């Protein structure tokens, strides 16, 4: 459904949040577009706060994205009329934040951002078991947990790449 001028304010607000301010409405790869919102969150925390605050603030951001995902899931399912709406992309942001929470290696922040984003999206698309099976869980759990599991796989792969090829991260 597209936003219309007659759409109630609450519905517009939910649509804005659930699509990550419209990123999830991209005609191609809405999940990848939605996950982009995680990058400024990560960079804002990394560049705007003292090092000791990075982990707690990333964790709070992850919990906030996950909680909002959980709260808006019933609305999203009703609004788009399917179990896992492709335009509802808060789970992608949570997945990216989980990835950077678990992996922040490398000397070059830009390379780290690019690699974490690319590898997270790759793992989320591939959905290695049990991520694929987690999609069948009911409601928000099925929408969110496959992305968080893919983030765990992404972080593990990133740690391996960083160990064997540190130059890829500027190290």
pLDDT in tens, the chain (171 residues): 555 566 789 999 999 999 999 999 999 999 999 999 999 999 999 999 999 999 999 999 999 999 999 999 999 999 999 999 999 999 999 999 999 999 988 789 999 999 999 999 999 999 999 999 998 998 899 999 999 999 999 999 999 999 999 998 887
Identify the three-state secondary structure at position 171. Answer: coil
pLDDT at 36: 98
Nearest residue to 89 via CA among 133, 132, 124, 136? 124
List of residues 6+ apart from 130 with CB closer than 8 A: 149
Q: What is the pTM of this model?
A: 0.94
| CA-CA-CA-CA dihedral for 70, 151, 45, 62, to nearest 10 | 20
């Amino acid at each position: 459904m597209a936003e219309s001028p007659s759409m109630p304010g609450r519905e517009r607000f939910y649509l804005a949040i659930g699509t990550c301010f419209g990123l999830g409405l991209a005609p191609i790869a809405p999940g990848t577009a939605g996950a982009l919102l995680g990058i400024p969150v990560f960079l804002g925390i990394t560049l705007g706060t003292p090092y000791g605050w990075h982990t707690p603030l990333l964790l709070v951001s992850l919990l906030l994205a996950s909680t909002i995902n959980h709260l808006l899931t019933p609305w999203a399912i009703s609004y788009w009329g399917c179990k896992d709406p492709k335009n509802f992309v808060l789970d992608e942001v949570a997945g990216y934040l989980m990835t950077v929470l678990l992996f922040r290696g490398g000397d070059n922040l830009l390379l780290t951002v690019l690699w974490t984003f690319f590898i997270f999206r790759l793992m989320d698309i591939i959905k290695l078991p049990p991520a694929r099976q987690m999609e069948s869980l009911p409601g928000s759990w099925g929408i969110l947990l496959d992305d968080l599991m893919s983030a765990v796989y992404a972080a593990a792969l990133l740690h391996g790449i960083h160990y064997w090829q540190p130059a890829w991260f500027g190290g």
